[in-house]
Amino acid sequence: MGCFGRSRKSSKRSEINKEVNKDTVKIKKTIGGTSVGKSDKKDDQTQTSSDSTKVSPYRDVKDEGGGGVGKEDQLALDVKGLNLNDQATGKKAQTFTFQELSLATGNFRSDCFLGEGGFGKVFKGTIEKLDQVVAIKQLDRNGAQGIREFVVEVLTLSLADHPNLVKLIGFCAEGDQRLLVYEYMPLGSLEDHLHDLPSGKKPLDWNTRMKIAAGAARGLEYLHDRMKPPVIYRDLKCSNILLGEDYQPKLSDFGLAKVGPSGDKTHVSTRVMGTYGYCAPDYAMTGQLTFKSDIYSFGVVLLELITGRKAIDNTRVRKDQNLVGWARPLFKDRRNFPKMVDPTLQGQYPVRGLYQALAISAMCVQEQPGMRPVVSDVVLALNFLASSKYDPNSPSSSSRRNPSFHKDKDDDDKRPNLVKETESEDQ
Ligand SMILES: Nc1ncnc2c1ncn2[C@@H]1O[C@H](COP(=O)(O)OP(=O)(O)OP(=O)(O)O)[C@@H](O)[C@H]1O
Ligand SMILES: [Mg+2]
């Protein structure tokens, strides 16, 4: 499994190269993987790579932080260096000085440390002048991910505004310091609630899982269908779904986002980036990124929510290490479905809801991208599942025998097509 970056965690993103047929597959080796704002010609350069594990170091943009450049100008310089349009360079996001952020975190004190990813460390802090608790992500200057992601993150989140996307409050681009300031998400990431739970921590219940899935799908729908230009996220995974009060999910980390194909194009060609286990096989093989690449990743997250298993789990026997590889043969027969559900739910789930959720996930992770549903259909189906509350205490709610959705009498008419499709063999 690919595991790069400095973190101890296993689900860090990286450049994903040719595990299969690595000598013959051409990859895009360029710094031009970014195109929020405009397309980047360098993206189309292709080169054969023999190194299947390297994270691209963005060497040619690293040294831009020049002395004597004002903080406001520094982002503009980053943008220019990356050949992006300087449109929307953070009009909604404010700039902070390094001193302000240092003050906010008690000089990045270890007890403010929240976690660490490929970009760098994340700290909790309080911005006094805003009277707001925030999460501050500090670019690791020796890290593999870098200024390009910083800029794309600022540009994407400055253009975006949706309750299921994390809010960027501001940034600091002072000298060679790069920091991002986000709204603080009190419940951390979905990964923290799904995998490797400390003893005594309660697993998420079925309704919360469906709520998180539906909210994450709505965030993705906003990126795909409402943003102008539309955006492919490219980094959907449990650690990038952050949770607010009451488990309201928000997508985070837009450093890999790409503007989707325009006109009659079906894909954008790019270096393959992402996280093993979540990356669509068609994209990994060809470098052709489509909206359906995100749908695949979403299907993996949904499968994690249902099964409680990790996208990649090296502690399992080899054939079961990849979640989709484990699930595919089981998807073929619905009698397997109850065996797939997270055992920590202890049987507390609605049978029909389980079948439908698994069927949606199976559609999303199909090998052929054209067979995967569009995000609006996934949203309709999951909104329906999330609103069909399961009550484990209801006398009629033995999960095995009796699906315990609270149904309105005209629910049948309200069921979205994707849900009806999943029910066709379920009678
Ligand atoms: N806005 C936030 N509010 C609260 N906690 C956060 C916030 N952003 C990040 N974190 C915490 O910091 C951790 C590290 O986040 P980060 O996005 O840097 O890494 P990652 O998602 O684990 O890996 P990757 O670099 O591949 O995205 C998260 O798992 C989360 O626990
Ligand atoms: Mg992340």
The per-residue pLDDT for 207 is 98
Whether 391 is in a domain gets the answer yes
The finding on whether 57 has its CB within 6 A of some atom of ligand 1 is: no
| Domain identity same for 280 and 232 | yes
The per-residue pLDDT for 155 is 85
**Residue having the nearest C-alpha atom to atom 31 of ligand 1:** 188
Question: Of 39, 1, 195, 170, which is closest to residue 101 (Cα–Cα)?
Answer: 170
pLDDT digits (tens, 9 = 90+) for 156-189: 888 899 999 999 999 998 888 899 999 999 999 9
Whether 395 is in a domain gets the answer yes
| Domain identity same for 94 and 151 | yes
- Of the residues 162, 183, 204, the one at which a domain ends: 183
Distance CA 216, CA 211 (A): 9
pLDDT digits (tens, 9 = 90+) for 197-219: 999 999 999 999 999 999 999 99
The per-residue pLDDT for 176 is 84
| Domain identity same for 395 and 328 | yes
| Domain identity same for 132 and 150 | yes
| Domain identity same for 221 and 356 | yes
**Residue having the nearest C-alpha atom to atom 7 of ligand 1:** 135
Whether 329 is in a domain gets the answer yes
Q: Which phi and psi angles does 61 have, rounded to 5°? A: -120, 5
| Domain identity same for 208 and 330 | yes
| Domain identity same for 150 and 175 | yes
Whether 3 is in a domain gets the answer no
Whether 396 is in a domain gets the answer yes
Total domains in the chain come to 2
The per-residue pLDDT for 39 is 36
Question: Of 303, 422, 302, 293, which is closest to residue 369 (Cα–Cα)?
Answer: 293
CA distances for 322 relative to 276, 278, 299, 309, 315, angstroms: 9, 10, 13, 10, 11
The finding on whether 189 has its CB within 6 A of some atom of ligand 1 is: yes
| Domain identity same for 156 and 248 | no
Whether 115 is in a domain gets the answer yes
| Domain identity same for 255 and 393 | yes
**Residues, the chain:** 427
Whether 362 is in a domain gets the answer yes
3-state secondary structure 28-72: CCCCCCCCCCCCCHHHHCCEECCCCCCCCCCHHHHHHCCCCCCHH
Per-run averaged pLDDT (10 residues), the chain, 427 residues: 35 58 26 35 31 27 34 53 45 86 97 91 96 94 72 86 95 90 97 95 97 98 95 96 97 90 88 91 96 98 98 96 98 95 97 97 98 98 96 63 42 68 56
Owning domain of residue 268: 190-426
30 CA from centroid of ligand 2 (Å): 23
| Domain identity same for 330 and 224 | yes
> What is the reported pTM?
0.81
- Of the residues 183, 218, 238, the one at which a domain ends: 183
Q: Where are the alpha helices (DSSP H) in 229-369?
A: 281-286, 291-307, 323-331, 337-340, 351-364
Residues 298, 236: contact at Cβ < 8 Å?
yes
| Domain identity same for 209 and 122 | no
239 CA from centroid of ligand 1 (Å): 6
The per-residue pLDDT for 270 is 86
